[in-house]
Structure 1
Amino acid sequence: MTVPSSDIPSQTPYWSAILSLFMGVTCLISAEFLPISLLTPIAHDLHITEGQTGQAVTAVGIFAVITSLLIAPISQKINKKTLLLSFSVLVIFSNSIVAITDSYYVLLLGRCLLGICVGGFWSLTSAVVLDLAPTKDVPRALSIIYAGVSVATIISLPFANYLALLLGWRMIFYLAALLGVVTLIWQAISLPQLSVSKNSNFNAIFALTQQPWVCFGLFAMFFSFSGYHIVFTYLRPFIEGKLHFTNNALSLTLLGFGVVNCLGTFVAGFILNKSFRITMIVIHVILCIVAIFFYINHQITADLTKIMLWGFIFGIIPVGWSTWITRTLADRAEIAGGLMVAAIQFSITLAAAIGGMIFDHYGLNGLFIASAAIFIFAIFCTIISFSLFYKTTGNHV
């Protein structure tokens, strides 16, 4: 069998391999979010504060950023299949460590290992998809893979919280490790031999950031994810405070949010193929408008509609920016993927921090105004990036 290359995309999509990556994302992101729903029992069992337990999430983000910037240069001669399987092994190891430990520092060690997996996997995603699918099928393949994020959100929040009441929080991490074993076996069987990274040294990273259209694209990603997460991080206080939902109603709303987000991810594969540029601009405009309507109108039906629309539209965004990489930087997808992950992780961390200050001083309405303003920057950066790419290459995105 001929080994596919990033320069010459596969002419026959490897759908089983793509689905194994969907499973990998589900496993990876479920593990990343588990401490959010299991915060209190973990803190109680390890005799630490909930704030200390929360650092288990922060540790993942820090190591994800570091890994995303380093993975391409230090793995130039390693086959990407080997890297993916190594990350799957680390996910199993990470969840197992967390499940058995009685030490806070060992808990953090396990989470740092998971951060390496998060940063490394997402950095390689665009490049791997180029090996597994022909160009016309890339958006659909990415939409399948990113659907794992939505499924993982459902598993790690309402579902994990429910199971933990029955089985205990440690058993949840054992089950996450078992899911990792299934993922590893599936990937080992279904993934073909993938291409080796080329021209992915630190000089290449520096050269790429000298391209104005690339910089504006990265800024657009940053503002895109910041505008979303500055509201998403505080979605629960909005549901509880404005809608006065508690317990079952709250869980059902969050479940519905995850479902429509997953639906948006699947829809992305079709609409991005039909009109990529217009779609990428319009979805940011819609999110900006929704943020404004969050501010000016508060009725239960309207608010629920806005929450679901918020989740649905954002499902398109990660697929869209990964598609942007495959269309503009296919020959440097590993480097671009690393920069994308770094920009996204940094934006999420900053949005949560700044959002907290805004929330404390100005409440939820302050968050909505900030989100709308951030999306305006995202719109302008997206338009400028697409325009500069055309002027530089003579090609439309």
Structure 2
Amino acid sequence: MTDTTLQLEDAAIGLDADTPAAWSAATWFAVISLAATSFALVSAEFLPAGLLTPMARDLGISEGTAGQVVTATASVGAVTAMLSNVLIGRLNRKTVLVGLMALAVASNILAALAPNFWLLLLGRAGLGIALSAFWALSVAVVARLVGANATGRGMAIVTLGVSLATIAAPSLGALISDWLGWRSAMAMTAGLAVLAMLAQLLSLPTLPATTSNSLADVFRLTRRRGIQIGMLAIVLLMTGHFAGSVYVRPFLEHVTLLATGPIALALLGFGIAAVIGNIAGGRMADANIHMALVVTAALMAVAALALVLWGVHIGVAFGFVTLWGFAFGMGPVVLPTNLSRAAPDALEAAGSLMVVSFQVAITIGAVVGGYVVDTYGATAPLTVTAILAASTAVLALLQPRA
């Protein structure tokens, strides 16, 4: 059997055995360009959360119908994640990344100019393709830029754009919409995508394809136990997070009895802690990926359970909402890095499975969270979070070492 390390060296994809002592300026610029890309794409993804009312009014549709622009992005993205690394064949990966940002620019412009709901939906579908294809490639590209043993650190920087966009996009979108209209807010996301595309053009080295994936290759990868456990960890932890995090505000309103101002402060703490967790997750993932996964899941389980048990107390609520944010910030770094360690010879195919796992988790989390909050009340979704996060921690402890 051919040694995997030799395969990777022959492919010259930069998966070094030793973590580089320091990155060159060129490496930093390349990784930061990917962070700018994630910020631009996720800003566009979350922007409609602050625009639904004026968007619905302008297009003559209900807010519920307008909300389907988010569904279109996610559903198209789930299909794209499975096919993207197959369809790009042996194209240079830099060309692919720049092309995806060009698609994001065109999609955001179409959404900004759309005279009706269907063209708006088409624009958002294009964004879904760009978003999922980028994430499917992200781990493999980062590994080639920084080396396999620094992938966690590299992904922490790339996903920092996600944390910042999650905090900024809905609120800034609402403000810009009030000042200049929702179409101007959409157009500004096209501007962000242009800047990210230029950053890629200037900073990314040429990235010749080292493999050409087939759909059979992607499915064949699911036979590996490490991949199965890695995907299950993503589904469990992120289903738990999305089932509960959406209902943190109702929990703070109905259980902790906070007013709007303190709730906003608590959610700001969640966002800031997520940024810090993002950085910490990168360092932990490179040092000990199994322990990083255990810590991420355990912190989320403790935070959710503490809110259920003692969330009536304001200090407890603030503290554990912040801890939840820290754990969530670690997740988008630790979970993909954990999955990639099971397939160092097939990072692009593993990236496809990673994105599909996240999309499935988001969908299940939304359905389960909505059902349990309507059926059992405000604490029920957080209980689901605690159970699934604790299950992920147990799964991580049982996961075989590489």
Same fold (TM over 0.5): yes
User: Which of 265, 270, 277 in structure 2 is aligned with 1:257?
Assistant: 270
**1:368 and 2:382 aligned:** yes
1:113-152 alignment, distance < 5 Å = 113-152=126-165
Alignment of 1:81-120 (within 5 A): 81-120=94-133
Equivalent residue in structure 1 for 2:13, among 6, 28, 32: 6
Q: Please name the residue that 2:33 is paired with.
A: 20
Which blocks of at least 5 consecutive residues in structure 1 are unaligned? 388-395
Deviation at 1:363, TM superposition (A): 1.2
Deviation at 1:248, TM superposition (A): 4.2
8 Å contact 2:56–2:66 — kept in the other structure? yes
Whether the 8 Å CA contact 1:72–1:197 is kept in 2: the answer is no
- What do the CA deviations read for 1:217-244 (whole angstroms, capped 9, x no partner)? 2111100111111111222322333344
Query: Which secondary structure state, in structure 1, belongs to the residue aligned with residue 115 of structure 2?
Result: coil
Q: How does 1:192-211 map to 2 (within 5 A)?
A: 192-211=205-224
Structure 1 residues 72-95: Cα deviation after superposition (integer angstroms, max 9, x where no partner)? 122221111111111111111111
The residue matched to 2:341 in structure 1 has which SS? helix
Instruction: Report what 1:275 is aligned to.
Output: 288
Contact 1:130 1:330 in 2 (8 A): no
Q: Residues 147, 74 of structure 1: CA spacing in aligned structure 2 closer, same or farther, 3 A cutoff?
A: same
| Native 8 Å contact 1:42 1:53 kept in 2 | yes
* CA deviations over 1:45-98 (Å, ceiling 9, x no partner): 111001111100001111111010001122221111111111111111111111
AA of the residue aligned to 1:342: V
Residues 264 and 224 of structure 1, relative CA distance in 2, 3 Å threshold: same
1:352 equivalent among 352, 366, 375: 366
Would you say the 8 A contact 1:5–1:195 is kept in 2?
Answer: no
Conservation of the 8 A alpha-carbon contact between 1:6 and 1:331: no
Match of 1:296 in 2: 309
CA distance in 1, matches of 2:79, 2:210: 19
Residues 266-345 of structure 1: pairs in structure 2 closer than 5 A: 266-297=279-310, 298-345=312-359
Q: Which residue of 1 aligns with 2:3?
A: none
Q: Is the 8 A contact 2:278 2:329 kept in 1?
A: yes
Kindly provide the amino acid, as one letter, of the partner of residue 357 in structure 2.
A
1:197 deviates by 4.5
Structure-1 residue corresponding to 2:85: 72
CA distance in 2, matches of 1:324, 1:113: 29
Residue 250 of structure 1, CA deviation: 3.7
How far residue 35 of structure 1 moved from its aligned partner, in angstroms, is 0.7
Give the CA deviation at 1:304: 1.0
**Aligned partners of 2:227 and 2:342 also within 8 Å:** no
Distance 2:200 2:213 in 1: 24
Inter-CA distance 4–31: structure 2 relative to 1 (3 Å threshold): farther
Matches within 5 A, 1:42-57: 42-57=55-70
User: Larger deviation: 23-32 or 278-287?
Assistant: 278-287
Alpha-carbon separation, structure 1, partners of 2:146 and 2:266: 35
Between the two proteins, the alignment pairs up a number of residues equal to 386
1:58 to 54, 71, 74: 71
Q: What is the deviation of 1:380? A: 3.0
**Residue 158 of structure 1: CA displacement?**
2.0
CA contact (8 A) 2:86 2:213 kept: yes
Instruction: Give the CA deviation at 1:185.
Output: 0.7
2:15 and 2:149 in contact (8 A); partners too:
no
What is the CA–CA distance in structure 2 between the aligned matches of 1:8 and 1:294, rounded to whole Å?
42
The 1-side partners of 2:233 and 2:69 are apart by: 28
Counterpart contact for 1:4–1:131, Cα < 8 Å: no
Give the Å deviation of 1:247. Answer: 4.6
> Aligned-pair distance for 1:7?
5.7
From 382, 385, 392, the equivalent of 2:396 is: 382
State the distance in 2 between where 1:96 and 1:252 align: 34
AA of the residue aligned to 2:170: L
Counterpart of 1:158, as a letter, is S
Structure 2: 5+ residue stretches without partners: 1-9
Q: In 2, are the aligned partners of 1:289 and 1:372 still within 8 Å (CA)?
A: yes
Separation of aligned partners in 1, 2:259 and 2:180: 23
